[in-house]
A = this chain, B = another copy of it.
């Protein structure tokens, strides 16, 4: 695949993300996406032979953008609680700074279905929870800094708080970035720490 093609593909993916974030999955038709990019519908179907492949490309591209962003915040931390705080903060910061990517992912993940009607992205794939589970096990079993709780359920809890913020930020329902971040970071710090009541 040459540079020209890669550029076009990327442009179409970005247009799709824009439409998904602004107008929602139901309005993210091939025609609307093409219109957003000022190109013909045929160009889109040329580069993505069907809609599902475009939607999957949207998800992959957006995740690809988020990943390095998060690593940047998590390098070289020396305790489980500090790493959890960094994980949450970096995720939320990415959302505030790139809300459209997050919204696009959520639109696709919660609406893209297979021909048989089932959601294409089901929660079965628990790989998204693994970094959090690792942090929790570290704090519980090695450091002793976290209280006892189910790492999987806590991971799901953390991620649902993060994920649900995306659309609200994109819709400008939430604007106070710094206080939102620090409050949520503190909340999960209290929620997980071993404490003396």
Contacts and interface: CB of A to CB of B under 8 A. Distances in A.
Interface of A: 22-27, 110-111, 113, 117, 119, 122-124, 147, 149-150, 153-154, 156-157, 160-161, 163-165, 167-168, 171, 173-174, 179-180, 183-184, 186-188, 190-193, 195-197
Given A123-B173, A196-B196, A24 B153 contact: no
A195 B192 CA distance: 13
Please classify the interface of chain A as helix (H, G, I), strand (E, B), loop, or mixed, using the class held by over half of its residues: helix
A161 to B, nearest CB: 5
Contacts of A196: 195-197
A180 B113 CA distance: 27
Nearest to A167: B110
Given A191-B191, A197-B193, A113 B24 contact: yes
17 contacts: A23-B117, A26-B26, A26-B113, A27-B117, A119-B167, A119-B171, A123-B168, A123-B173, A149-B186, A153-B180, A153-B183, A157-B183, A187-B191, A190-B190, A190-B191, A190-B193, A191-B191
Given A160-B161, A179-B150, A191-B187, A24 B119 contact: yes
Given A161-B160, A163-B164, A197-B196, A149 B187 contact: yes
Contact of A25 (B27, B111, B161, B192): B111
